[in-house]
A and B are shown apart, each in its own frame.
Chain A
Amino acid sequence: MVLPLLGLVATGLFSVVACVAGLHLLVMAWRSRRAPELWMGLSLTLMLVGNALVVAALEGLPPGPAARSLALWGEAGLALGFVCDVLFNRRVFRPDTWWATGIVLIVSVGLVGAVVVEGLWLRAEPPSAALVAARVGLRELSYGWATAEALRYFGLMRRRTRYGLADPVVTNRFFLWGISSSLGMVVIACFGVATLLGFRGEVADLLMFVGSLLGLPAASLVWLTFFAPASYRRFLRRHSATDRGAASP
């Protein structure tokens, strides 16, 4: 009883933080008319709405056409959220590369296509294992790319910080974003396997619990990424100054 409740609290906390961060970014995008804020804000918000609809379909409705329809709307929200995520990666990290455009196309066509296929042809049936596996693979690709880019850039920024060429708070933001994206990969894997198991059995329950529990560290990371408190910023700057002082002759 305690464990599912803990998972629920963790998921709820993550949802609140992601919702606040997503809306905050959308307000920023509306004011500044800039694409990165828009893509990231839409990504967080759409994924949150999509996830809420899927959970409501699974937990709140009896199995049947209504639940399937609600879950499908949820999957559509999640698909668009991941499309926004790869658009953010391309715009921020790889604006000129052909392969980044390729990843955006693969993820967009794959995830939106999966929703269309499920909606048009499989309306009455649960999605096939192949469709679920493809969806999980494309989501992992999206978050895997975000993780790799953020951590690669964190490495560059760390070197810059040593020479006083970068703000340690911004450097740390790349690290936080990279780690939260990697946690997202674990969550996707947990829920993906649980879906393939039909959400039945001890293994599926454990995976769902682990996936939900990871909402707790993910919430903290997203919060620190976008709303780092002054004390945390001071700690990072002081720590960085000490490092630079120790490194200089």
Chain B
Amino acid sequence: MNSSPVFEWLATELEGATSLSRQEARGTVRIALREVGLTVEGVARRPMCFVLDRVLPDILRSRGVQDSVTLCSHLARRLDAASLAPQRESPEHVFARLGGDLPSRH
């Protein structure tokens, strides 16, 4: 299954900014997403910023990453400005539209 561009971006950044390996970085982000019910395939920019703010700092600290709060807020700012590939439509978005909770036009 294809992971979202937001997930790929954060995992790569985390790998570069910490001593975590590629697999460890991806696994850490995956665990953080699971905790709040998000998926690797569908996570978008704004929910990922929430994860960076509220969930990831504690998980990174438990993995021995120094000053995880500062690192995560720095990554959240960069994610906000990053240019990423367009996201595939999530089931949440489709079901919102089907019930009339989102505009049906592009």
Q: In the complex, are the beta carbons of A163 and B98 less than 8 A apart?
A: no
Residue pair A25, B98 in contact (C-beta under 8 Å): yes
Residues from chain B with Cβ under 8 Å of A228 in the complex: 99
Inter-chain contact B104/A156, CB cutoff 8 Å: no
For A36, list chain B residues within 8 Å (CB).
94, 97-98
- Interchain CB contact under 8 A, B37 and A165: yes
Output the residue of B39, B95, B96, B97 with the most chain A CB within 10 A.
B95
Size of the chain A interface, CB-CB below 8 angstroms: 35
Instruction: Known A96-B2, A165-B47, A165-B50; judge A28-B104 contact (CB<8 A).
Output: yes
Q: A173-B95, A177-B95 are in contact. Are A96 and B47 (CB under 8 A)?
A: no
- Of chain B, the residue at the smallest CB distance from A27 is B104
Q: Which residues from A are CB-within-8-Å of B94?
A: 36, 92
| Alpha-carbon separation in the docked complex, A93 to B99 (Å) | 17
> Does A166 lie within 8 Å of B92, measured CB to CB?
yes
Number of A-B contacts (CB under 8 A): 81
Q: Is the CB of B96 within 8 A of A167?
A: yes
Does A226 lie at the interface of the complex (its beta carbon under 8 Å from any beta carbon of B)? yes
B8 to chain A, nearest CB (A): 14
Q: How distant is B79 from chain A, measured CB to nearest CB, in Å?
A: 16
A40 located at the interface, meaning its Cβ lies under 8 Å from any Cβ of chain B in the complex: yes
A159 touches B36 (CB 8 A): yes
- Given the interface pairs A96-B2, A156-B39, the reply to whether A163 lies near B92 with Cβ below 8 Å is no
The answer to whether B37 touches A156 (Cβ under 8 A) is yes
Q: Is the interface of A mostly helix, strand, loop or mixed?
A: helix
Q: Do A160 and B99 touch (CB < 8 A)?
A: no
Interface centre among B38, B39, B47, B91 (most CB of A within 10 A): B91
> In residues 121-159 of chain A, which contact B (Cβ within 8 Å)?
149, 153, 155-159
Q: How far is the CB of A10 from chain B (nearest CB, A)?
A: 24
In chain B, positions 1-16 with a C-beta closer than 8 Å to chain A are 1-2
In contact, B91 and A153 (Cβ under 8 angstroms):
yes
Q: What's the Cα separation between A188 and B53 when bound, in Å? A: 47
Whether B63 sits at the interface, judged by CB under 8 Å, is no
Confirm or deny: A85 has a beta carbon within 8 angstroms of a beta carbon on chain B.
Answer: no
Cα distance A157–B93 in the bound complex, in angstroms:
12
Whether the pair A157, B92 counts as a contact (CB closer than 8 A) is yes
Are A95 and B88 in contact, CB atoms less than 8 angstroms apart? yes
Q: Are A32 and B98 in contact (CB under 8 A)?
A: no
Residue of B nearest to A153 (CB): B91
Q: Mark A85-108, 1 if CB is under 8 A from B, else 0.
A: 000000011111100000000000
Does A174 lie at the interface of the complex (its beta carbon under 8 Å from any beta carbon of B)? Answer: yes
Per the bound structure, the CA–CA distance linking A123 and B98 in Å amounts to 40
Point out which of A156, A159, A169, A174 has the most chain B C-beta atoms below 10 A from its C-beta: A156
Encode contact with A along B20-53: 1 for CB under 8 Å, 0 otherwise. 0000000000000001111101000001001000
Indicate if A37 sits at the interface (CB-CB under 8 A). Answer: yes
A37 vs B84: C-alpha distance in the bound complex, in angstroms? 27
List 17 contacting pairs A-B, 8 Å CB cutoff, sorted by A: A31-B104, A32-B97, A32-B106, A34-B104, A97-B1, A149-B91, A153-B92, A158-B37, A159-B36, A160-B36, A160-B38, A165-B38, A165-B47, A166-B37, A167-B96, A169-B101, A170-B99
The 8 closest A-B CB pairs, nearest first, are A159-B37, A32-B104, A160-B37, A156-B37, A170-B96, A36-B94, A163-B36, A173-B95
